[in-house]
Amino acid sequence: MLTRRMFTSGLIGAVVFSRPGFAHHGFTGAYDSARPIYVAGEVIEATFRRPHPVIEMRVDAELRPPNDIREDSEFADILEVRPEDLGRIIDVEYPPIRLFFDLEGRIAVGDRVETIVYQNCRPPSQLRGQWLRLANGEAVVRRGRMQTEDAGCSG
């Protein structure tokens, strides 16, 4: 009886205490792939710790979508610049895959980078990078869809 009670308590504890970690991770997100957002600016900080690489950047005060993004046709003609981002400091999370973790040491404070992001439809509405142009002009693109992408936010 005591063993069963301990097992049940342990199971309940595992579910309750693991939930915040699960909620943080993008699996509960719904990223709007119908509305890719373009931002560019100066890197304030770049971190490459789990669970996600993150670039904190000061977005340029004046910005228009570029005409020369051809590395991935899914972004080419539908990019948006959001007025609320202009001149602000924002965080962009990148998928927790080797492609982006391998950029450690290649992005420095003060670099100017460009990125295309999808916004999470659900609070806290974080931005997830899909495409990144480094200061040296090299483009890094995550190809393929993820299970957390939605073609538009409902509501």
Give 38-90 pLDDT, tens digit per residue. 999 999 999 999 999 999 999 999 999 887 775 555 666 678 999 999 999 99
> What are the domain boundaries of the chain?
2-150
CA angle 63–90–46, rounded 5-degree value: 110
Give 128-148 pLDDT, tens digit per residue. 998 999 999 998 988 766 656
pLDDT at position 24 is 44
Q: Which residue has the tokens 């509305």?
A: 35
Topology, domain 2-150: OB fold (Dihydrolipoamide Acetyltransferase, E2P) (2.40.50)
